[in-house]
Every structure is written in C-alpha cells, then in structure tokens.
Amino acid sequence: MDFNDDYVMTIDGKAVVGAATIDVVNPATGEPFAVAPDCSKEQLDEAVAAARTAFDGWRRTPIAERQAMVAKAADLLAAHADELARLFTREQGRPVDGARQEIEGAAVWMKAVAQMEPPVHVSEDSDAQFIETRYVPLGVVCAIAPWNFPVNLAMWKVAPALVAGNTMVLKPSPFTPLCTLKIGQLFDEVFPAGVFNVVSGGDGLGPMMTAHPGFAKISFTGSTATGKRVMESAARDLKRLTLELGGNDASIVLPDVDLDAVAQTIFMAAFYNTAQICVATKRLYVHEDVYDGLRDRLAAIAAAVKVGDGAEQGTVLGPIQNRRQYDRVMALLEDARAGGLTLIQGAAVPEGAGYFVPVTIVDNPPEDSRVVQEEAFGPILPMLKFSDVDDVIARANASEYGLGGAVWSADTDKAVAVARRLDTGTVWVNQFINLRPDTPFAGRKNSGFGVENGMEGLLEYMAPQAVYVAK
Ligand code: NAD
C-alpha cells in the first residue's frame, strides 16, 4: 500500500474520498498538514449497509478462518509500523519510539485476541434433553475511538468484534484520523468487502453513527461527558453498549517505599504520553514521611525531561494532542495559579504555535481544588499528603470515577491489601499501566460501562443463545 498523503475511507472494500474534508493539525506546530475525508450521511448509510450485507457471510465463516484473518491483519500492521509511526507522530504528537510501540503493541494484541474462542456451556445432557448455550455475534458494530491512543484503542475493538463474527464501521477521532484510515486500506487486503469499514469526519459524525438504526452495538472510548450522550442515543434502539470513559486515578505511596527505586516509574505513570492516558496517575497521595523526598525527586526529573516535537531526537514528552484539550489544560493551570496553589514546573517548552505545556506538579493542594477533582488529561499532577491509610483510601475512592489506581510499597502484601480496597476496575502494585489482552479492563462509576479485553471483553461482542433439544 502507498503511504502517500492521500487519505481515503474504506467502505465496502472500496477507497472512498469524502463528500468534504477536515483539516488535520500537527500539534507540535499548530499547523494543518493533511486533510481527511468528512463522511456524509449517505456515505455512512453505504458503510452500514455494506457491513449489514457482509454480516451474513462473515458470521458463517468458521471462527478459525476469522481468527486467521485477524492475525494476518495484525502482521500487516506490524509490517508497516515504521511508516505508521512517523505518521502517528505528526498527527498525534507522541515521540516516534512510543508511536511505534503503540502500533507494534496493537499488532501483538490482535494476535492474542485471534487465539480466543467463546465457550460453549452444556447445562444438561440427559436421556430427556440436551441444553447448550453458545455465543453468537450481534451484527454491525459501531466503533468510536479517541485521540490519545488512536491505534491501540481502535484495535481493542476491531480484533474481538471481528473474531466474534460481527462486521464493523470504525470512526477515529477527528484529531487523529490518518493512521486509522491507512489501516482501513491495509486491512482491506485481508477482510472480505464490507466486513471492516473505516469512516472519518468532524464533530457531527459520531452522533450520526450512534443514532443510526443499522448498528447492533456501540463500542465507545472517550470522555465521560460524550459517553453519557452515546448512552442516551443508544437507548432509542436498545443498542448494546461498551463505554470506556475517563478516569482520575489515585496512586498511593506508602511510607516504606524506596524513593530512588520508584520515582522515575511514578513520574512516567503520571506523565507518559504527556499525561493523556485514561489510566495515568492523576492524583498522587504520598505519606507525609516521604512526601518531600518524592516531590523533590519528581521535580528534578521534570526539570531534566525534554518536552518538544515528537519528531525530534531525544524528545520524551510531546505536545498536548489538540487545541481544544490544550485550552482545557491551560484553563485548569490558570485556575490553580489564581487559587494561589504552589506550582513546581519542569523544563521550558518550545515557543511558538505548538500545544506545549510544561510538566507541572501542584504541591499539596486542597482536596476540593479543581486540579484534584477533575481529570486534567494533561501534564498537571496534584501531589497530596496523607498520614492515615484508612483516610487516604477514603479520599482515593471519593471520586466520580473508578478506572484504575496504584499502590507503592516495599511490602507487597500490605500494598495488595490497600489495592483491594480501591473502587476501581484495575489496580497496579509497584508498577504502572501494564495491561494484557487476556485480562478484563473495566471502569466503574463514571469511568465506564461494560468490559474490554479478556473473555468478558470478547463476549461483549456476542449474545448467548440457549438451545433446548428434547430427546
Ligand atoms: P471525546 O469524548 O471528545 O471523543 C471520543 C470520540 O467520540 C471521538 O471519536 C469523537 O469524535 C467522538 N464523539 C464526540 N462527540 C460524540 C457524540 N456526541 N456521539 C458520538 N461520538 C462522539 O474524548 P477524547 O477527548 O477523544 O478522549 C479523551 C477522553 O477519553 C478522556 O476523558 C480519557 O480519560 C478518555 N479515555 C478513556 C479510555 C478508557 O479506556 N477508559 C481510554 C482512552 C481515553
């Protein structure tokens, strides 16, 4: 496939130009550098119709063949990791090494999912009757992805949905459509026409999709506010739903921790991908005995870290991905400054039109400040002191979110005991953001609805069918 600057949608096995176009901006420069198709209502109808037509053949394709095609698509993704990584950096902002890791990681993920198979349960096999429950696909899946991990989070949906026997229309974020559009073309070499469609467009396209009656299920990753709108829209046709939404993860650092051993990892847990990770550490609770020591170590790392254009050698943290998010992060920073909070800022950031924000640690702000209560999704980390474990667990859990969290301690048992008391779907002990395709990932409260990954994640793309046979 040609990695030129022409970006097309994939609809019914054909390359389709948009009815109109949207600009795609490089966040390191603030300048548009490409245009992506803006899908019209008619084009969306064509994509959904193609996916519905393809569904019958695809669901009857033996699962081993579907798995083999998903694995082959993963190989193609990995084979084009270099070209995709360069494009990823231009549209998303992350340094090229991290971009390549995401693409290669997505390929590994798909291959693992391609080995999964839904169970068959036999509840009775007697002289009187035979009863079995098997899992069947749902129909056409509407997949909507965000801009922070645009390839990975899309492939988390593509692989299980297609292995399960569904067909799909995938929409990337308007801020990061390009890699996904190229992947649509790449995968078109593997899947029958209509099985995997990719459309792109502006802010109007997501609501148009969630309201479309042709979809059986919506799998959405994005913000909590949008997730609630998606759920409302899905209610009209009782579409099945998976929502992976925002988080405000707490990390709890117990007093026995070896600060030199953990400081760098905690820094990255908070700031990797310029803190634009749903499960980043967004509130750092540190025991008062080690608070100053950790704060000073994190401040030293922040002072040395290179923030800049991800295409430049040595850059560790890129820009904020888009102008809208940059404005939101700057407003939060301004609010913290206006409230008289103590800000410790890291290395200077490039001047100019790029969306750069210096790494910022907020030194022990009040629990009710916006910077603690809201998901920043940018490099502003509130550090908070605690002295009592029960109290810090209560503070960690007093959040509208319940996505992830972490506990740091030299005593693993003690840390695990604290971890189990956090009201979140995932908790890490002395590590961060280690996720696996065979392990369920699910947010509680305002962080989500449903599950991705693991057998539970695969079954979200299927419905049980119980068959009762009289003998
Ligand atoms: P967003 O909600 O603005 O957009 C996500 C996607 O939804 C985009 O493709 C967008 O075009 C589309 N969209 C926007 N309005 C829509 C509507 N009314 N109906 C249907 N689709 C619509 O989110 P974002 O800013 O791209 O992503 C950042 C957020 O995503 C953060 O809150 C982050 O925590 C969350 N996130 C969650 C996870 C997770 O797995 N839980 C992973 C990554 C990001």
Kindly indicate the confidence band of residue 346, based on its pLDDT and cuts at 50, 70 and 90.
very high
CB 243 within 8 A of CB 448: yes
Query: Is residue 256 assigned to a domain?
Result: yes
Do 24 and 66 fall within a single domain? yes
Q: Is 174 in the pocket of ligand 1 (CB under 6 A)?
A: yes
User: What's the pLDDT score for residue 445?
Assistant: 98
Between the CA of 51 and the centroid of ligand 1 the distance, in Å, is 23
In this prediction, residue 393 carries a pLDDT of: 98
Residue 1 lies in a domain: no
Question: Into how many domains does the chain fold?
Answer: 2
Query: CATH number of the domain that 399 lies in?
Result: 3.40.309.10
pLDDT at position 2 is 74
Query: CB of 322 closer than 6 A to ligand 1?
Result: no
Q: How far is the CA of 242 from the centre of ligand 1 (A)?
A: 13
442 is a domain residue: no
Quote the CA–CA distance of 248 and 25 in Å, as a whole number. Answer: 28
In degrees, rounded to 5, the angle at the alpha carbon of residue 388 between the alpha carbons of residues 385 and 389 is 100
- Does the pLDDT of residue 433 top 90, yes or no? no
pLDDT for residue 341: 98
Is 52's C-beta closer than 6 angstroms to any atom of ligand 1?
Answer: no
Same structural domain for residues 233 and 276? no
pLDDT beyond 80 at 76: yes
| pLDDT, position 3 | 80
User: What ligand 1 atom has the least distance to the C-alpha of 173?
Assistant: 9
pLDDT in tens, 97-129: 999 999 999 999 999 999 999 999 999 999 999
Atom of ligand 1 nearest to the CA of 147: 26
- Check pocket membership of 146 for ligand 1, CB cut-off 6 A: yes
Spell 349-368 as b/e; 16+ CB within 10 A means b.
Answer: beeeebbbbbbbbbbbbeee
Same domain, 241 and 278: no
Q: Is residue 3 part of a domain?
A: no
Looking only at the bridges linking them, the beta strands covering 167-171 and 196-198 are parallel
Does 260 lie in the same domain as 190?
no
> What amino acid positions are annotated as catalytic residues?
244, 278
Copy the structure tokens of residue 38: 């803006």
Does 222 contact ligand 1 (Cβ within 6 A)?
Answer: yes
Query: Which is it for strands 401-402 and 444-445: parallel, antiparallel or unpaired?
Result: antiparallel
List, for residues 156-179, the tens digit of each pLDDT value.
Answer: 999 999 999 999 999 999 999 999
353 found inside a domain: yes
188 and 59 assigned to the same domain: yes
Instruction: Give the CATH number, domain containing residue 181.
Output: 3.40.605.10
Do 232 and 216 belong to one domain?
Answer: yes
Model confidence over 252-291: pLDDT tens digits? 999 999 999 999 999 999 999 999 999 999 999 999 999 9
Terminal-to-terminal C-alpha distance of the chain: 55
Q: What percent of the chain has pLDDT over 90?
A: 98
103 and 119 fall within a common domain: yes
- Looking at the structure, tell me whether residues 224 and 105 fall in a common domain: yes
Q: In which region does residue 353 sit, left (phi positive, over 0), alpha (psi from -120 to 50) or beta (all else)?
A: alpha
CB neighbours of 296 closer than 8 A, spacing ≥ 6? none
In the structure, how many helices (H) and strands (E) does the chain have?
Answer: 15, 22
Same domain membership, residue 62 and residue 97: yes
Q: Are residues 257 and 201 in the same domain?
A: no
CA angle 121, 138, 168 (to 5 degrees): 130
3-state secondary structure 284-316: EEEECCCHHHHHHHHHHHHHHCCECCCCCCCCC
Q: For residue 4, what pLDDT band results from cuts at 50, 70 and 90?
A: confident
User: What is the atom index within ligand 1 of the atom nearest the CA of 224?
Assistant: 32
Domain that holds residue 85: 9-245+447-470
Q: Please, which pLDDT band fits residue 222 given cuts at 50, 70 and 90?
A: very high
With a pLDDT cut of 70, the percent of the chain lying above it is: 100
Ligand 1 center to residue 286 CA distance, Å?
Answer: 30
Q: What is the pLDDT of residues 30-40, one digit of tens each?
A: 999 999 999 99
H-helix segments, 165-290: 178-187, 205-210, 224-235, 259-271
Decide whether any atom of ligand 1 lies within 6 Å of the 144 Cβ: yes
pLDDT at residue number 213 = 98
Note whether 213 and 281 are same-domain residues.
no
Partners of 317 in the beta sheet?
Answer: 307
Query: Which pLDDT belongs to residue 5?
Result: 86
The pTM assigned to this predicted structure is: 0.98
Cα angle, residue 55 at apex, residues 16 and 46 outer, rounded to 5°: 30
Q: Do 340 and 225 share a structural domain?
A: no
